[in-house]
């Protein structure tokens, strides 16, 4: 799937595409290219090519789609500190009129 095709989708089609079982694969550590020691945020085009990522990658794809369809878009990283070094986090994009809840899997960070 090409980024231009995804950006041209209407809202129902876009969120349906993002939730399609088996198209994107969740990896809590994100996508790592061969020889890469740490994951990094993928561009939407890279995410569509690799089809593997975490909620940050899905949120970036949603942010770019939303910026093409709405004026006011913000991205948030939610991070909850707890005592056992298992700190859940999640990212979402919000826009005027609601909040997108795509990629609702939690990422658990090994470090605080």
Q: Show me where the domains of the chain are located.
A: 3-109
Q: Name 85's Cβ contacts closer than 8 Å, sequence gap at least 6.
A: 110, 111, 112
Pairing of strands 52-53, 25-26: parallel
Q: pLDDT (tens digit, 0 to 9) for every residue of the chain, 112 residues total?
A: 899 999 999 888 887 888 776 678 777 777 888 887 887 889 999 999 998 888 788 888 988 988 888 877 878 877 776 766 666 667 777 777 545 544 333 333 333 3
């Amino acid at each position: 799937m090409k980024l231009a095709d995804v950006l041209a989708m209407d809202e129902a089609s876009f969120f349906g595409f993002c939730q399609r079982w088996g198209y994107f694969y969740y990896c809590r550590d994100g996508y790592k290219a061969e020889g890469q020691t740490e994951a990094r945020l993928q561009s939407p085009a890279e995410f569509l090519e690799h089809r593997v990522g975490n909620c940050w990658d899905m949120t970036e794809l949603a942010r770019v789609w939303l910026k093409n369809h709405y004026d006011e878009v913000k991205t948030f990283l939610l991070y909850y500190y707890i005592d056992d070094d298992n700190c859940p986090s999640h990212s979402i994009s919000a826009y005027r009129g609601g909040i997108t809840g795509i990629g609702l899997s939690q990422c658990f960070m090994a470090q605080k």
